[in-house]
Amino acid sequence: MYIPNHFKQEDIPVLLEFIRKNSFGILFSNYGEVPEATHLPFHVKQEGENIMLTGHFAKANPHWKTVNGKDVLVVFSGPHAYVSASWYEGKNNVPTWNYTAVHVYGQLEIVEDKGELLSMLAELSQFHEKEMEHSWNIEQRTEYVHQLTTGIVGFKIHIMKLEGKWKISQNKPEQERRNIIQGLRAQSRYDSREVADLIERIKK
């Protein structure tokens, strides 16, 4: 990913928290000369200094057949918004797009063990159910979940590299950032207000 220095985010805890908050990503790989991509939910797992992503394919999706032991890229997108050139002080400006993204590079390993797969599914569901008023628990539906696991293929990605890009007007003067924040807060399209919050936090 192309990342100018002023947009670079290298704080690993920040990048991992970003993935947790924006955990529906796109897994990319190459099969021969043909790129493949699958949209999937992911879960971050840390074991000491080792960090991995876990997830699962639908077994009917042939993508899983070509990735075991291969290098893959997972892209996570965060808040993004259109920035109007009319919000800048000077005349010689053009519109742009502010956005946040994390790229994860790693090697994918298919999970063969059924017990490990069930554990991964439990961790994924617990993470997303924890804020539900009436949370669903995989242990309450163990037999049914066991049946469904025949239709999925679990995997883990051993992370080798993390890249973060926070393109949120860090390269603009203070007054222009104030104008951009004001302009974004007046919008309802895309994630304008979330991006305004990010710019405001960077200012501080």
pLDDT grade, residue 202 (50/70/90)? confident
pLDDT confidence of residue 191: 95
3-state secondary structure the chain: CCCCHHHEECCHHHHHHHHHHCCEEEEEEEECCEEEEEEEECEEEEECCEEEEEEEEECCCHHHHHCCCCEEEEEEEEEEEEECHHHCCCCCCCCEEEEEEEEEEEEEEECCCHHHHHHHHHHHHHHHHCCCCCCCCHHHHHHHHHHHHHHEEEEEEEEEEEEEEEECCCCCCHHHHHHHHHHHHCCCCCCHHHHHHHHHHHHC
Residue range 60-80, pLDDT digits in tens: 999 999 999 999 999 999 999
pLDDT confidence of residue 149: 87
Q: Is the pLDDT of residue 164 over 70?
A: yes
pLDDT confidence of residue 140: 63
Q: Is the pLDDT of residue 204 over 70?
A: no
pTM across the whole model: 0.92
Rounded mean pLDDT, 171-199: 94
| Domain extent listing, the chain | 5-170
Rounded mean pLDDT, 52-66: 97
Residues forming beta bridges with residue 82, ordered by sequence position: 97
Which has the closest alpha carbon to 119: 64, 25, 48, 56?
56
Fold entry, domain 5-170: Pnp Oxidase; Chain A (2.30.110)
Q: What is the percent of the chain with per-residue pLDDT over 90, rounded to a whole number?
A: 72
Q: Within a 10 A sphere around the Cβ of 132, how many other Cβ atoms?
A: 8
pLDDT grade, residue 141 (50/70/90)? low
